[in-house]
């Protein structure tokens, strides 16, 4: 908290690592809220988390915190002030829609499109002029009748609360939250709303500069940055885009005959310049994929101002991309060379290309197209065009005709990848004065400032004080038969390795109570190993002791499996959950207490090193930031591993086993990349074990840990108020003493006699 | 000294010795040694093996629990005698083992809760009117008697599942109650003996006997009402290969049930086809050859066996498409709790514009996806079979939202209320102590001055070092203390080394006398002392009943000294040191006398009260 305060006062950025399950979120929130409430300037807090469950959790914590503050406020005035505190969370339309017609859709994109069809300004105006002519959303309409600025009463609103309120008052929760963002003291939403320019443009534009930005669970922030500036194009996408272009053309012809004035009007507007046609941001159809600083504030070039010209322009561009995709060998080139080639073949210049996305947006609005999800591919192509024409450095174009080395049927993918995570986050650092990056596992700390190109004021990792060793990390390097185990690509499908991995699971399912979570390095490996285990009869052994749940490709299905997993753990039947280290489950789901008594990490979760994108990124990191390839790969793998195993602990009475099953975890360079709070508990003996030795240790550990957990920790690892005061007093005393010492040092510093000594001297004169 | 049921000369590990079966242990003593070197308690005996009838050596092997190697005994007497001896041992041991097997699945630790008294289990209980099926069951005395453990446990579980519906509270249904009691007695030979001696002889009534032992009945009822859960394994009938290349799958009713449960589509096919189109046997034959079966098998090898599979016009109708898409074929409509909703995250922000690399794309292994889905479904089904379906109201718990974020160790522990001390005559106690204080104050005249006390204490501690160094311990007390300790040890050694030579009959009588007295005492005190509040059920006896019971018990107890005297007399008659019997029975007598005195005082007090 002190460090955080320092950061806030200094209006700088900081990186903090706090062990998971020690109340990270609530300590952050409580300090920042106090800070906000204390200073009259009311800096806004923007709290970014990674997943919706985490957002909801953070909101709940905030709600709890505010309830406490209201309770503790001394005067009625202060109470009122606390009550007026306003916090809420934002998520997508899909999660917040309560219009039954729209909400039943499965895909977020379709929900977005349908919602826009019912709520955009044109439709609303038409409906108001002539009620009943077009379907509109009642929930959205009701919002308009309320006074803006008081759509939702102040207080803390979790996503669930907002939904409930919306249902009750028949107003649209999504737009209510969107419109109230400007009034909120705390906004909690996902990284993307701040980092992805396509979304940030619409949502986060109005945030003031002095806002405090917190990135929680930020260990993957660089990937989010990169993803938000990268686009992949595939053949089916291009086909769909050209279909959309044809449709656009037809629509233009149609409008020309019925309502030519409209097009003329648009043309006139474009001539005057884009800025005047600024639409209200709720209507924004697709954000510009380019960062705000790189936006051109010029008028759209003449050759694409006319609608039919623009359509022809798009058509040419798509055809060009299609021909590029026919190539059967891998191509990697810089955006500059791509543009040169493009110009040589199709005479498309760079400048109009930059305006592609904007122009498309304007055209779609003019044409009043509905069901935008059908035109998603075209939007993507336009975004691609804009990006490719805007950026030169830190980006690469890669064309991969085949998915894998062995594939014979071409399935070309055109990657436009961002290699530099600092690009996307730069505006955030520049715009906001305090940015806090925190997570349970962001070791080594210096990596993040290096990658994201910022200079932190404070950079700190906190240890965990425990009255007992609440978790036992074990590194298993070989099976009971002494065969080394590893998920290295060459040996991972070796029957001996598969069997040894299996026997670890079987043995642990026999000995560990309640829940066990096992993580694999990739989906591909998990799926093949599950099949292999089934054939070898290993899973039959596991069935005897525990139920088995597996992460599936479908998110909803997996959620249901998770829910059942929890029931099985609660019931005492016990269960095993097999999932993937970078997958859906590994992010944002806690396996605390009986939900995870052991986490087994099968193999080191390296990225797919054969991937050309990764190779390009590594090269870039090496050239630009002097980060060695192996160092980055190891760092990336270990932060994911730590993230997985770190989810077992929550609170100090909790306990769990952390099993790292791979030969390579024994190496010092890997272990050193684990967060300190995990690493300090790995003993020398526990760092190189065979399965049976590890089991013996685990049994021993479980016997000791299952003793009385209710021993009084107060004063040892928990502090009551008096303890804190005592510690503070001690600190103060120490500081005072040091000061005094410093003072007395000064006194004798010159080595001479003090004045007093001289005065006492009797001079014989 | 425990009674010896039978003995024989037998060698173990080629060393000659004597094998004895006492009423608690099977023991073997090496020749020339006093203490038995092998002792197997009855409760430990697990399995028994014998050599063939006409084998040259007559052998017997007994394996205790947790030691499968066991002990081998060879009967060394000449042939016909050895055989007879062995048969005798075998008969007794078989009965014991059978009883052990019957006890183990239930509650082996029940014996711990019994009131004290030496163990006197009796191998078989012929005099008990209760039909003791287990004790009497001495199954086939063939060459190897090894009642298979799974069989008995299965039987027990079946029996238990029949009475699933019976409530755990005893006393509602006389028949169930009787059955429970019988079972408890059978599982506890000691309790059975006590019951026979006291209740069968009419000394105390059945209800009185069970009064205060309800927990045994409850435990029994609870253990019986435990249902055996469904086994976790997937239904995967593995074919066995018979000679001649044929493949055989054994179909049991259990398997059929499991298959129907696991794959409702097979149940549908069965019900639609079996009587009309196909016979039952034909149906199963075709099913196991069909694509349907291969699709259901929990293996991805099924694709390899595809070519063996025959086309089947009837069953192929039921074939469903492989469930291997990214999205499941059957969409589940229910929304999970928001804290677990992974879908919400993937829909939280616009679709990813990049694809993940191929190792991270889920669902690339088409073969594994149906398998994974099957695991999840199977696990869910198992859970639902145990817990019932998840009620929809539980899905979204709004009121419990804080529980997800709370870290419980940061909460203050609520201080417990403690047990309120209930005092008789509270006022008098407080008055008394107040009066005492007042007196003290009067005596001292002034309130105590803490400083003076501290000063005094400090003064008295002055020069403590010197005092300590001057401290000398007189030699005499030290010596005497040591001497008394030595004597104590010697006495103990003496007692231990002395041979226990009380004849078996007398010994048994003594034990009986003691247990009976114990039981009476228990009954008496439970009738006299106030009952613990948690035991106050509807069935609690009225004060009048309790009083009459106490009187009755006192009547029995007052006879105890006579009985002890009789025992002492018997001892003297058989030429034993009567004092030893007296010493042995002294604690019991003391306890009885204490009860008698207490009773008399109480009576007297009551009389005085009445007199007033």
Give per-residue pLDDT as tens, B323-337.
Answer: 666 677 666 666 667
Q: Which of A167, A10, A178, A11 is nearest to A100 (CA)?
A: A167
Predicted confidence (pLDDT) at residue A381 exceeds the cutoff of 60? yes
Average pLDDT score over residue span A550-563: 87
Query: With bands split at pLDDT 50, 70 and 90, how would you rate the model's confidence at B151?
Result: very low
Q: Which of A64, A198, A652 has the CB atom closest to B402's CB atom?
A: A64
pLDDT at A504: 93
Predicted confidence (pLDDT) at residue A430 exceeds the cutoff of 90? no
d(CA A350, CA A151): 45
3-state helix, strand, coil in chain B (%, to 5): 55, 10, 35
Which chain B residues have a beta carbon less than 8 Å from that of A224?
none
pLDDT at B397: 46
pLDDT at A152: 83
A563 — contact with chain B (CB < 8 Å)? yes
pLDDT at A719: 66
d(CA B488, CA B403): 62
Query: With bands split at pLDDT 50, 70 and 90, how would you rate the model's confidence at A559?
Result: confident
pLDDT at A715: 54
Q: Which of B332, B360, B379 has the CB atom closest to A568's CB atom?
A: B379
Report CA B510 to chain centroid distance, whole Å.
29
Count CB neighbours of B141 within 10 A: 11
Give per-residue pLDDT as tens, A300-313.
Answer: 777 888 888 889 99
pTM beyond 0.80, yes or no: no
d(CA A353, CA A370): 25
> How many Å lie between the alpha carbon of A21 and the closest alpha carbon of chain B?
8
Predicted confidence (pLDDT) at residue B441 exceeds the cutoff of 70? no
Query: With bands split at pLDDT 50, 70 and 90, how would you rate the model's confidence at B108?
Result: very low
Query: With bands split at pLDDT 50, 70 and 90, how would you rate the model's confidence at A279?
Result: very low
Predicted confidence (pLDDT) at residue A251 exceeds the cutoff of 50? yes
pLDDT at A317: 92
Mean pLDDT of chain B: 70
Instruction: Find all residues with CB under 8 Å of A759, minimum gap 6, and list them.
Output: none
Q: Which of B357, B368, B387 has the CB atom closest to A571's CB atom?
A: B387
Predicted confidence (pLDDT) at residue A753 exceeds the cutoff of 60? no
Q: Per-domain residue ranges for chain B?
A: 4-103, 114-139+153-225, 240-318, 504-611
Predicted confidence (pLDDT) at residue A762 exceeds the cutoff of 60? no
pLDDT at B422: 66
For chain A, the distance separating the N- and C-terminal CA atoms, rounded to the nearest angstrom, is 64
Q: Which of A198, A523, A528 has the CB atom closest to B362's CB atom?
A: A523
A723 — contact with chain B (CB < 8 Å)? no
> How many Å lie between the alpha carbon of A564 and the closest alpha carbon of chain B?
6
Predicted confidence (pLDDT) at residue B139 exceeds the cutoff of 70? no
Average pLDDT score over residue span B517-539: 69
Query: With bands split at pLDDT 50, 70 and 90, how would you rate the model's confidence at A295?
Result: low
Which chain A residues have a beta carbon less than 8 Å from that of B350?
108-109, 192, 196, 198-199
d(CA B354, CA B351): 9
Query: With bands split at pLDDT 50, 70 and 90, how would you rate the model's confidence at A577?
Result: very high
pLDDT at B468: 79
Average pLDDT score over residue span A371-395: 86
Predicted confidence (pLDDT) at residue B587 exceeds the cutoff of 80? yes
Predicted confidence (pLDDT) at residue B547 exceeds the cutoff of 50? yes
Question: Using alpha carbons only, how large is chain A's radius of gyration in Å?
Answer: 30
pLDDT at A765: 45
Instruction: Find all residues with CB under 8 Å of A162, minimum gap 6, and list them.
Output: A88, A89, A96, A152, A173, A176, A177
pLDDT at B168: 40
Which chain B residues have a beta carbon less than 8 Å from that of A580?
360, 362
pLDDT at A518: 94
More confident residue, B539 or A658: A658
Q: Given an 8 Å threshold on Cβ–Cβ distance, is B342 in contact with A611? A: no
Predicted confidence (pLDDT) at residue A587 exceeds the cutoff of 80? no
pLDDT at A117: 82
d(CA B55, CA A12): 94
pLDDT at A423: 87
Q: What is the CATH number of domain B4-103?
A: 2.30.29.30
Q: Which of A473, A578, A560 is nearest to A523 (CA)?
A: A578
Strands A413-418 and A395-400: antiparallel
Predicted confidence (pLDDT) at residue B99 exceeds the cutoff of 60? yes
Query: With bands split at pLDDT 50, 70 and 90, how would you rate the model's confidence at A696?
Result: very high
Predicted confidence (pLDDT) at residue B310 exceeds the cutoff of 90? no
Predicted confidence (pLDDT) at residue A507 exceeds the cutoff of 90? yes
Predicted confidence (pLDDT) at residue B541 exceeds the cutoff of 60? no
Q: Which tokens go with A477?
A: 């390097």
Which chain B residues have a beta carbon less than 8 Å from that of A653?
408-409
d(CA A438, CA A452): 14
More confident residue, A740 or A211: A211
pLDDT at B403: 61
Q: Which tokens go with A602?
A: 């099968």
d(CA A518, CA A661): 10
| A516 to A595, A596, A647, B105: CA distances (angstroms) | 7, 5, 12, 29
Chain A, chain B: beta-carbon pairs less than 8 Å apart: 261
Q: Which of B200, B393, B232, B225 is nearest to B298 (CA)?
A: B232
Continuous H helices in A551-628: 555-571, 612-625
More confident residue, A87 or B446: A87
**Which percentage of chain A shows pLDDT scores above 90?**
13
pLDDT at B133: 36
Mean pLDDT of chain A: 83
Q: Given an 8 Å threshold on Cβ–Cβ distance, is A57 in contact with B332? A: no
Average pLDDT score over residue span A543-564: 88
Interface test with B, best of A52, A405, A540 (most B CBs within 10 A): A52
Interface test with B, best of A63, A399, A403, A559 (most B CBs within 10 A): A559
> How many Å lie between the alpha carbon of B226 and the closest alpha carbon of chain A?
15
Give per-residue pLDDT as tens, B237-279.
Answer: 666 666 666 667 777 777 888 888 778 788 888 888 877 777 8
Predicted confidence (pLDDT) at residue A400 exceeds the cutoff of 80? yes
Average pLDDT score over residue span B357-385: 80
A586 — contact with chain B (CB < 8 Å)? no
* Angle formed at CA B370 by CA B368 and CA B372, multiple of 5 degrees: 65
Instruction: Find all residues with CB under 8 Å of A585, minimum gap 6, and list them.
Output: A551, A558, A562, A577, A579, B342
pLDDT at B112: 34
Query: With bands split at pLDDT 50, 70 and 90, how would you rate the model's confidence at B121?
Result: very low
pLDDT at A516: 94
**Which percentage of chain A shows pLDDT scores above 70?**
91
d(CA A211, CA A204): 11
Q: B525 and B602 in contact (C-beta within 8 Å)?
A: no
* Angle formed at CA A224 by CA A221 and CA A228, multiple of 5 degrees: 145
Give per-residue pLDDT as tens, B454-492.
Answer: 888 888 887 777 777 777 777 888 889 999 999 999 988
ipTM, two decimals, is 0.82
pLDDT at B134: 39
């Amino acid at each position: 908290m002190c460090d955080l305060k320092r950061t806030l006062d200094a209006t700088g950025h900081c990186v903090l690592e706090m062990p998971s399950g020690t109340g990270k979120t609530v300590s952050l929130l409580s300090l920042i809220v106090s800070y906000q409430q204390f200073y009259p300037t009311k800096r806004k807090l923007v709290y970014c988390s990674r997943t919706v469950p985490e957002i909801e959790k953070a909101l709940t914590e905030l709600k709890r915190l505010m309830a406490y503050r209201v309770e503790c406020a001394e005067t009625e005035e202060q109470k009122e002030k606390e009550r007026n505190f306003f916090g809420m969370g934002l998520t997508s339309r899909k999660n917040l829609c309560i219009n039954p017609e729209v909400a039943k859709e499965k895909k977020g994109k379709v929900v977005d499109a349908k919602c826009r069809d019912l709520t955009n300004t044109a439709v609303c105006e038409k409906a108001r002029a002539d009620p009943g002519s077009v379907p509109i959303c009642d929930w959205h309409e009701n919002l308009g009748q309320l006074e803006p600025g008081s759509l939702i009463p102040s207080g803390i609103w979790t996503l669930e609360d907002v939904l409930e309120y919306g249902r009750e008052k028949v107003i649209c929760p999504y737009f209510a939250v969107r419109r109230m963002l400007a009034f909120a003291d705390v906004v909690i939403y996902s990284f993307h709303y701040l980092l992805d320019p396509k979304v940030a443009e619409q949502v986060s534009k109005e945030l003031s500069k002095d806002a405090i930005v917190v990135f929680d669970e930020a260990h993957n922030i660089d990937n989010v940055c990169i993803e938000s500036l990268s686009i992949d194009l595939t053949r089916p996408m291009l086909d769909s885009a050209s279909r959309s272009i044809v449709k656009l053309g037809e629509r233009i012809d149609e409008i020309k005959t019925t309502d030519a004035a409209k097009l003329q009007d648009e043309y006139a507007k474009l001539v005057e310049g884009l800025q005047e046609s600024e639409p209200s941001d709720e209507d924004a159809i697709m954000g510009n994929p380019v960062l705000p600083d790189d936006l051109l504030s010029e008028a759209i070039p003449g050759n694409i101002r006319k609608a039919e010209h623009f359509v022809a322009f798009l058509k040419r561009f798509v055809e060009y991309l299609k021909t590029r995709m026919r190539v059967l060998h891998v191509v990697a080139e810089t955006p500059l060379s791509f543009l040169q080639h493009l110009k040589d073949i199709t005479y498309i210049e760079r400048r109009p290309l930059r305006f592609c996305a904007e122009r498309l947006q304007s055209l779609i609005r003019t044409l009043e197209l509905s069901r935008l999800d059908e035109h998603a591919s075209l939007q993507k192509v336009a975004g691609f065009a804009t990006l490719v024409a805007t950026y030169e450095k830190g980006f690469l174009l890669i064309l991969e005709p085949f998915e894998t080395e062995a594939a014979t049927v071409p399935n070309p993918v055109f990657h436009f990848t961002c290699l530099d995570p600092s690009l996307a986050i730069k505006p955030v650092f520049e715009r906001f004065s305090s940015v806090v990056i925190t997570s349970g596992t962001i070791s080594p700390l210096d990596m993040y400032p290096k990658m994201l190109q910022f200079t932190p004021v404070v950079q700190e990792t906190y240890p965990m004080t425990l009255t007992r060793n609440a978790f036992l990390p074990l590194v298993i390097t070989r099976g009971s038969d002494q065969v080394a185990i590893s998920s290295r690509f060459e040996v991972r499908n070796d029957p001996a390795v598969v069997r040894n991995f299996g026997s670890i699971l079987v043995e642990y399912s026999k000995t560990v109570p309640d829940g066990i979570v096992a993580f694999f390095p990739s989906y591909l490996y998990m799926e093949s190993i599950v099949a292999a285990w089934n054939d070898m009869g290993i899973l039959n052994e596991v069935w005897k002791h525990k139920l088995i749940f597996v992460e599936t490709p479908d998110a909803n299905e997996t959620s249901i499996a998770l829910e059942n997993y929890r029931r099985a753990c609660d019931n005492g039947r016990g269960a095993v959950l097999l999932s993937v280290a970078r997958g859906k489950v590994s992010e944002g789901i806690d396996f605390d207490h009986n939900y995870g008594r052991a986490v087994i990490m099968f193999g080191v979760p390296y990225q797919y090193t054969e991937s050309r994108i990764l190779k390009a990124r590594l090269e870039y990191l090496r050239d630009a930031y002097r980060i060695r390839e192996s160092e980055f790969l190891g760092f990336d793998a270990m932060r994911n591993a730590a993230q997985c195993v770190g989810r077992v602990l929550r609170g100090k009475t909790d306990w769990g086993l952390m099993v790292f099953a791979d030969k390579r975890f024994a190496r010092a360079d890997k272990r050193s990349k684990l967060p300190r709070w995990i690493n300090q508990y790995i003993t020398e003996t526990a760092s190189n074990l065979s399965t049976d030795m590890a089991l013996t240790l685990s049994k021993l550990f479980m016997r000791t840990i299952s003793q009385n957990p209710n021993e009084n920790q107060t004063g040892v690892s928990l502090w009551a108020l008096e303890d804190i005061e005592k510690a503070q007093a001690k600190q103060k005393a120490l500081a005072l003493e040091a000061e005094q010492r410093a003072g007395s040092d000064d006194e004798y510093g010159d080595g001479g006699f003090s004045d007093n000594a001289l005065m006492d001297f009797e001079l014989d004169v | 000294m425990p009674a010896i049921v039978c003995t024989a000369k037998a060698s173990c590990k080629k060393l000659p010795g004597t094998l004895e079966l006492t009423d608690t242990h099977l023991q073997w003593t090496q020749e020339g040694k006093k203490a038995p070197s092998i002792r197997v308690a009855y409760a430990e005996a697990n399995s028994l093996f014998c050599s063939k009838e006409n084998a040259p050596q007559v052998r017997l092997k007994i394996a205790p629990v947790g030691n499968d190697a066991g002990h081998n005994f060879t009967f060394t007497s000449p042939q016909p005698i050895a055989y007879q001896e062995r048969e005798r041992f075998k008969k007794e041991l078989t009965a014991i083992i059978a009883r052990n097997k019957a006890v183990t699945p239930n509650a082996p630790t029940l014996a711990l809760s019994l009131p004290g008294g030496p163990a006197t289990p009796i191998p078989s209980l012929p005099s008990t009117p209760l039909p003791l099926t287990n004790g009497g069951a001495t199954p086939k005395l063939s060459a190897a008697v090894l009642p298979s453990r799974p069989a008995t446990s299965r039987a027990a579980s079946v029996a238990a599942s029949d009475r699933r519906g019976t409530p755990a509270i005893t006393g509602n249904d006389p028949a169930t109650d009787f059955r429970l009691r019988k079972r408890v007695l059978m599982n506890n030979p000691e309790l059975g003996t006590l019951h026979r001696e006291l209740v069968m002889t009419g000394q105390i009534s059945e209800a009185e006997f069970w009064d205060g032992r309800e927990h045994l009945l409850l435990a029994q009822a609870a253990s019986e009402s435990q249902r055996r859960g469904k086994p976790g394994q997937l239904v995967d009938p593995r074919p066995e290969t018979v000679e001649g290349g044929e493949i055989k799958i054994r179909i049991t009713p259990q398997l059929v049930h499991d298959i129907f449960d696991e794959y409702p589509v097979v149940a549908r096919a069965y019900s639609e086809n079996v009587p009309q189109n196909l016979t039952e046997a034909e149906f199963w034959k075709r099913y196991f050859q069909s694509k349907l079966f291969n699709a259901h098998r929990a293996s991805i090898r099924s694709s390899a066996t595809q070519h063996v599979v025959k086309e089947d016009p009837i069953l192929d109708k039921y074939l469903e498409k492989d469930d291997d898409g990214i999205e499941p074929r059957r969409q589940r409509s229910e929304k999970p709790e928001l804290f677990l909703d992974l879908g919400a995250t993937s829909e939280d922000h616009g679709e990813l514009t990049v694809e993940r690399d191929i190792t991270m794309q889920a669902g690339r292994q088409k073969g594994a996806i149906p398998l994974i889905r099957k695991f999840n479904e199977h696990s869910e089904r198992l859970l639902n079979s145990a817990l019932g379906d998840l009620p929809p109201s539980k899905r979204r718990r709004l009121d419990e939202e804080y529980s997800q974020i709370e870290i419980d160790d940061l909460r203050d522990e609520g201080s417990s209320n403690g047990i309120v001390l209930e005092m008789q005559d509270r006022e008098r106690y407080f008055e008394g102590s107040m009066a005492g204080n007042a007196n003290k104050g009067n005596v001292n005249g002034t309130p105590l001055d803490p400083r003076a006390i501290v000063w005094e204490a400090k003064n008295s501690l002055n020069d403590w070092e010197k005092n300590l160094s001057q401290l000398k311990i007189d030699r005499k007390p030290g010596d005497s203390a040591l001497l008394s300790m030595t004597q104590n040890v010697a006495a103990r050694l003496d007692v231990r080394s002395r041979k226990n030579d009380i004849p078996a009959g007398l010994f048994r009588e003594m034990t009986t006398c003691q247990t009976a007295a114990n039981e009476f005492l228990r009954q008496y005190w439970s009738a006299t002392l106030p009952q613990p509040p948690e035991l106050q059920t509807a069935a609690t006896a009225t004060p009048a009943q309790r009083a009459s019971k106490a009187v009755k018990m006192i009547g029995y107890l007052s006879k105890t000294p006579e009985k002890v005297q009789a025992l002492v007399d018997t001892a003297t008659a058989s030429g034993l040191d009567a004092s030893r019997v007296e010493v042995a029975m002294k604690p019991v007598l003391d306890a009885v006398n204490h009860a008698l005195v207490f009773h008399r005082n109480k009576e007297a007090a009551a009389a005085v009260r009445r007199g007033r």
